[in-house]
Amino acid sequence: MRTHHQANSDAEGFNWHIIKYVLPYVFEYKNRVFLALGFMVLAKLASVGLPFILKFIVDDLDTANNTATALIAAPIALVIAYGFVRFSNVFFGEIRDTIFGRVTERAIRRIGLKVFKHLHLLDLEFHLNRRTGGLSRDIERGTTGINFLMRFMVFNIIPTLLEIGLVIFILFFNYGINFAAITLLAIVAYVGYSIKTTEWRTSFVRMANKADSASNSQAIDSLINYETTKYFTNEDYEAQRYDKELADWEIAKRKNRLSLFVLNGGQALIIAASMTAMMVLAAMQVADGSMTLGDFVLINAFMMQIFIPLNFLGFVYREMKGSLANIELMFNLLAIAPKVVEQPDANDLIVRQGKVEFNDVCFHYHQDRAILKKVNFHLEPGNKLAIVGASGGGKSTLVKLLFRFYDINSGAITIDGQNINDLTLKSLRRAIGIVPQDTVLFNDNILENVRYGKQGASDDEVLHAIKLAHLDEFIQSLPDGVNTMVGERGLKLSGGEKQRVAIARTILKKPPILVFDEATSSLDSKSEQAIMNALKELSQGVTSMVIAHRLSTIVDADKIIVMDSGVIAEMGNHDELIAKGGIYAKLWAIQQQSNSDSP
């Protein structure tokens, strides 16, 4: 996906589309921008005025030397003025930056939020494939890039060009064509060289970015799998893998640095050569008396004034290219289209009874491997449907399809006669509650993790749900009670505890359709029985789908379907399936056997 987008913004061109994208954010605070621009003009005026004051000082001092010492007062006043103007130059610049800071920060906030929202909009497939470490790096660099881009786009490129134009005009007007010509030539050479070299360098910048994201992905992935690394004592291996990525980064950075040397070296050469030419010219004119000493100083000062910003412009151009390369990675995220999308005229789901139907549903994750093949079943309102079958048979997939995490390839899934493809995703997902196979929790306390099931639920409501999920006994044993932090992904809780948090969440959500994907698989028989009772109460009058391996938990289901490699092999209630003597009956016999074997 990424490579595709990278091809769009080739290394040669300047990414104008990114600038166009960022520009509206600059104008969110129009007044601030104009105020900042005002201070910028003041600062520039001060900086163009400086060489003139310098010239007058030198000329005054020159004449003062030749005549009476009483005349010294005038140059002193000028020197003071010089100090004042120099200070104003810096001071106005600071005011400008302070005023404009707000604009940049707001833009970063807006764009950051946009990217975040977009990431949540993307389908499950994207998130299963993403590498968290690399992703966070791309976003981080993108944000820094925007900061840079905004500041320099508004304040440096255009004003510096203006300043340079002004100086050339002054040189031409006061000192003739020669000085202006040399300056112009120097600028053209400088700009041309900078652009060419910077373009050549951009690929190295990209390479370094890519290596940086890759090493970060590696590090994060490795740290997430901390326990596994320890179990297999693979610390050295992990370190090696990380170091390999770091080595790539180092190489990319070296290329980056060497190419920077070429760039800066060439720029310095152009500047030095043209300055020398101008100084020689000026020195000759002072010698033959057509210029004063003050003029010599003025030209020198102007050249400093032109080449320092020019050099700065080179720096800005280079950094901007870098920033754009960084921002591009972040914007590529925005360019990824979600695969599961709402119809433009999508309606909200209206659950009247809660009848769920799968009609001829075919689905594959990958072209070459069908997961569901023409799956048909009806789940009557208020009924309990159990799904059993071998691991990998597609049971959890059914649930993901019901939530519309993926679009089915053919057939239809309907709830109360409404095709889920025609519904808003929010209303669909709001109507279904799930206790998933693997519960992952937020790194927050237990109370907040349960409250996640219903934003804004009161503490009492949350505590009630906790009680129904039989979590209260466990929580009472904790020193910090409901305020206990659960650790990253909830790993500080046991499997059964996590599952009960998930159950409590769902109890709080109280949706009209319930799904339990092995909801009690991590519980011991005693807790399982207790929770089964709680769930039974919860599913009273509610349509529920229960995926289970332990058949004893689903004997009371209204309908049981047996999934076998993507097709429904058997369907019926417990007694019917036992009587049939097929897969289910065999499974049941095996489980009864092992039950009576265990003491």
Task: List residues binding Mg ion (CB under 5 A).
Answer: 395-396, 437
For Cα atoms 581, 587, 591, give the angle at the middle one, nearest 5 degrees: 130
| Nearest distance from C-beta of residue 548 to ligand ATP, angstroms | 10
**Residue 411's closest CA among 377, 462, 459?**
377
> Residue 221: which H helix or E strand, with range?
helix 177-224
| Nearest distance from C-beta of residue 324 to ligand ATP, angstroms | 34
Reduce the secondary structure of 303-352 to three states and give it as a string.
Answer: HHHHHHHHHHHHHHHHHHHHHHHHHHHHHHHHHCCCCCCCCCCCECCCCC
* Distance in angstroms (rounded) separating the CA atoms of residues 397 and 391: 11
Instruction: Decide whether 212 or 518 has the Cβ nearer to ligand ATP.
Output: 518
Instruction: Decide whether 438 or 556 has the Cβ nearer to Mg ion.
Output: 438
Query: Which one of residues 421, 437, 521, 552 is an interface residue with ligand ATP (CB under 6 A)?
Result: 437
Alpha helices per DSSP H over 9-72 = 16-26, 30-66
Contact call for residue 394 and ligand ATP (CB under 6 A): yes
What is residue 449's three-state secondary structure?
helix
Pairing outcome for strands 513-517 and 432-435: parallel
| Nearest distance from C-beta of residue 500 to ligand ATP, angstroms | 19
Strand order in the sheet with 513-517: 432-435, 513-517, 543-547, 384-389, 559-564, 567-572
Pairing outcome for strands 567-572 and 559-564: antiparallel
Query: Token pair of 588, please?
Result: 């049941």
DSSP 498-521: HHHHHHHHHHHH--SEEEEESTTT
DSSP 130: -
Which of ligand ATP, Mg ion, none does 526 bind, CB closer than 5 to 8 A by kind? none
Which of ligand ATP, Mg ion, none does 417 bind, CB closer than 5 to 8 A by kind? none
**Residue 324's closest CA among 463, 490, 145?**
145
Instruction: Decide whether 345 or 368 has the Cβ nearer to ligand ATP.
Output: 368
Query: Which one of residues 7, 68, 70, 128 is an interface residue with ligand ATP (CB under 6 A)?
Result: 128
Q: Applying CB under 6 A, which part among 31-39, 114-122, 268-276, 363-371 lies near ligand ATP?
A: 363-371
Which of Mg ion, ligand ATP, none does 210 bind, CB closer than 5 to 8 A by kind? none
Contact call for residue 391 and ligand ATP (CB under 6 A): yes
Instruction: Decide whether 88 or 437 has the Cβ nearer to ligand ATP.
Output: 437
Query: Which one of residues 397, 418, 527, 544 is an interface residue with ligand ATP (CB under 6 A)?
Result: 397
Contact call for residue 93 and ligand ATP (CB under 6 A): no
Is the separation of the CB atoms in 182 and 274 below 8 Å? yes
Instruction: Decide whether 437 or 591 has the Cβ nearer to Mg ion.
Output: 437
| Nearest distance from C-beta of residue 567 to ligand ATP, angstroms | 12
Contact call for residue 393 and ligand ATP (CB under 6 A): yes
Query: Which one of residues 392, 417, 481, 487 is an interface residue with ligand ATP (CB under 6 A)?
Result: 392
**Residue 384's closest CA among 177, 575, 535?**
535
Query: Which one of residues 395, 470, 505, 509 is an interface residue with ligand ATP (CB under 6 A)?
Result: 395
Which of ligand ATP, Mg ion, none does 24 bind, CB closer than 5 to 8 A by kind? none
| Nearest distance from C-beta of residue 365 to ligand ATP, angstroms | 3
DSSP 409: S
Which of ligand ATP, Mg ion, none does 128 bind, CB closer than 5 to 8 A by kind? ligand ATP
Task: Show contacts of 463-466: CB within 8 Å, 24+ apart.
Answer: 465/504, 465/505, 465/507, 465/508, 466/504
**Residue 345's closest CA among 424, 402, 415, 283?**
424
**Any bridge partners for residue 347, and if so which?**
423
Which of Mg ion, ligand ATP, none does 267 bind, CB closer than 5 to 8 A by kind? none
For Cα atoms 94, 99, 103, give the angle at the middle one, nearest 5 degrees: 130
Which of Mg ion, ligand ATP, none does 233 bind, CB closer than 5 to 8 A by kind? none
Contacts of 46 (CB under 8 A, 6+ apart): 85, 86, 88, 89, 92
Is the separation of the CB atoms in 185 and 274 below 8 Å? yes
Instruction: Name the residue with the smallest CB distance to Mg ion.
Output: 396
| Nearest distance from C-beta of residue 391 to Mg ion, angstroms | 7
Q: How many residues interact with ligand ATP (rule CB under 6 A)? A: 12
Q: Applying CB under 6 A, which part among 268-276, 283-291, 300-308, 394-402 lies near ligand ATP?
A: 394-402
Query: Token pair of 252, please?
Result: 């990319």
* Distance in angstroms (rounded) separating the CA atoms of residues 60 and 56: 6
* Distance in angstroms (rounded) separating the CA atoms of residues 130 and 338: 14
| Nearest distance from C-beta of residue 315 to ligand ATP, angstroms | 46
| Nearest distance from C-beta of residue 358 to ligand ATP, angstroms | 14
| Nearest distance from C-beta of residue 517 to Mg ion, angstroms | 6
| Nearest distance from C-beta of residue 400 to ligand ATP, angstroms | 7
| Nearest distance from C-beta of residue 438 to Mg ion, angstroms | 9
Instruction: Decide whether 133 or 393 has the Cβ nearer to ligand ATP.
Output: 393
Q: Applying CB under 6 A, which part among 18-26, 81-89, 99-107, 385-393 lies near ligand ATP?
A: 385-393
Pairing outcome for strands 356-366 and 369-379: antiparallel
| Nearest distance from C-beta of residue 397 to Mg ion, angstroms | 8
Query: Which one of residues 40, 330, 371, 465 is an interface residue with ligand ATP (CB under 6 A)?
Result: 371
Contact call for residue 565 and ligand ATP (CB under 6 A): no
Which of ligand ATP, Mg ion, none does 365 bind, CB closer than 5 to 8 A by kind? ligand ATP
Q: Applying CB under 6 A, which part among 42-50, 150-158, 365-373, 499-507 lies near ligand ATP?
A: 365-373
- The count of other CB atoms within 10 Å of the CB of residue 545 is 26
Q: Which residues bind ligand ATP (CB under 6 A)?
A: 128, 365-366, 371, 391-397, 437
